[in-house]
Structure 1
């Protein structure tokens, strides 16, 4: 990934997590994947946040 891609991915993740009440405890952007520790406020928040982030 390039720096611009990393920034865009972080922005998309932040927006999706905010709109779905998911806390981002930690993340690590790797060249071809990402490691995340996310804590949702409800049972469906996690799937909604990740789905919104990577459907773009």
Structure 2
């Protein structure tokens, strides 16, 4: 029969918090979108035929 009064000898490590906050996710997405966006904006806005 199984022994019902068994204590664990090893403790389970608490889970580390790897969750990102919403603002951190938003910053990552903005940064990723700026990689192609900045050169495109520079060509559109800083070329002589852009009207500026």
Pairwise same-fold verdict (TM > 0.5): no
TM-score by length of 2: 0.36
TM-score by length of 1: 0.34
**RCO higher in structure (CA 8 A, sep ≥6):** 1
Which structure dedicates a bigger proportion of its chain to helix? Answer: 2
Which structure dedicates a bigger proportion of its chain to strand? Answer: 1
